[in-house]
Amino acid sequence: MTYPATESTAATADSARASLEALRTEIGKAVVGQDSAVTGLVVALLCRGHVLLEGVPGVAKTLLVRALAASLELDTKRVQFTPDLMPSDVTGSLVYDARTAEFSFQNGPVFTNLLLADEINRTPPKTQSSLLEAMEERQVTVDGTARPLPEPFLVAATMNPLEYEGTYPLPEAQLDRFLLKLTVPLPSRADEIGVLTRHAAGFNPRDLHAAGIRPVAGPAQLEAAREAVSKVSVSPEIAGYVVDICRATRESPSLTLGVSPRGATALLGTARAWAWLTGRDYVTPDDVKALALPTLRHRVQLRPEAEMEGVTADAVITAILTHVPVPR
**Cα–Cα distance between 114 and 97 in angstroms, integer?**
29
Residues listed for the chain: 328
Question: Does the pLDDT of residue 239 top 70, yes or no?
Answer: yes
Q: What angle do CA 250, 254, 257 make, to 5 degrees?
A: 40
pLDDT of residue 8: 45
Question: Does the pLDDT of residue 217 top 60, yes or no?
Answer: yes
For residue 125, give Cα distances in angstroms to 10, 75, 130, 314. Answer: 40, 27, 9, 25
pLDDT of residue 2: 44
Task: State the average pLDDT for the chain.
Answer: 88
262 or 56: which carries more pLDDT confidence? 262
**pLDDT, mean of residues 241-262:** 95
Cα-Cα-Cα-Cα torsion 258, 262, 265, 270, nearest 10 degrees, comes to: -80
**pLDDT, mean of residues 218-240:** 92
Order across the sheet with 76-80: list the strands: 76-80, 114-118, 154-159, 51-54, 180-183
**Cα–Cα distance between 200 and 12 in angstroms, integer?**
41
Q: E strands along 42-153, which residues?
A: 51-54, 76-80, 92-97, 102-107, 114-118, 139-142, 145-148
Longest pairwise C-alpha distance within the chain: 71
Question: Does the pLDDT of residue 37 top 70, yes or no?
Answer: yes
**pLDDT, mean of residues 305-317:** 92
Q: Tell me the pLDDT tens digit for each residue of 151-209.
A: 889 999 988 776 566 678 888 888 888 999 999 888 899 999 999 998 898 888 888 88
Q: Tell me the pLDDT tens digit for each residue of 80-96.
A: 998 899 988 999 888 87
**pLDDT, mean of residues 51-69:** 87
**pLDDT, mean of residues 205-231:** 88
Task: Count Cβ atoms within 10 A of the Cβ of residue 109 and give its class: 0-12 exposed, 13-18 middle, 19 or more buried.
Answer: middle
**Cα–Cα distance between 143 and 103 in angstroms, integer?**
11
Q: Tell me the pLDDT tens digit for each residue of 7-17.
A: 443 347 788 88
pLDDT of residue 162: 60
pLDDT of residue 218: 83
250 touches 300 (CB < 8 A): no
Task: Count Cβ atoms within 10 A of the Cβ of residue 9 and give its class: 0-12 exposed, 13-18 middle, 19 or more buried.
Answer: exposed
Question: Does the pLDDT of residue 210 top 80, yes or no?
Answer: yes
pLDDT of residue 229: 94
